[in-house]
Amino acid sequence: MTGEQVILVDADDREVGAMDKLAAHEKGGVRHRAFSVFIVDPQGRWLLQRRAAGKYHFAGLWTNACCSHPRPGEQTADAAHRRLREELGFDCALTERFQFEYKATSESEGLTEHELDHVFTGEYAGAVHPDPAEVGETRWIEPAVLEQELRTHPENFTPWFKLALDRVGNALR
């Protein structure tokens, strides 16, 4: 992660600078631009990934297909496509649905996400080739099964996933 930069933004998503990625997550977090990609297949199942055990925060938790940060000078949609290819080995058409701001701390690592998150959706039906440095495992899940898991074991999912999922589902209906 050394040298990786994130884009700092104000509450209206206007760029106000750049910062080292890890530093942006320390000491309570600094607001920065991020994105989350939600993928469904033609049958309406959601693609989930379990974050790799070696991730610097929220490791081992289930989340949406992929999420990350655009680099300075990179358009958010371009970054979403880049990370789909890097993390999962595929790309597909994406639609930006909404954005939201959230703050979540990983107590065990002492790191905080303070993100203005751009949420994208797409449909994909091919093979998934996860990068093991990023992704522990993937699975396709029926919406009703996912809802049940979220009710019974919310601690198994990332904070941003839980916050965005209902709005994503409504946007796809």
What's at 110, amino acid-wise? G
Q: Is 67 a catalytic residue?
A: yes
Picking from 37, 48, 35, 36, the residue whose alpha carbon sits closest to that of residue 91 is 37
Q: What is the largest CA-CA distance in the chain?
A: 43
Q: Among residues 66, 67, 87, 113, which one is catalytic?
A: 67
3-state SS, residue 153? coil
Picking from 133, 124, 64, the residue whose alpha carbon sits closest to that of residue 90 is 124
Q: Among residues 66, 87, 113, 115, which one is catalytic?
A: 115
Estimate the crossing angle of helix 143-152 against helix 159-172, to 10 degrees: 150
Q: How far apart are CA 97 and CA 78, in angstroms?
A: 15
Cα radius of gyration (the chain)? 15
Q: Is 115 a catalytic residue?
A: yes
Cite the active site residues: 67, 115
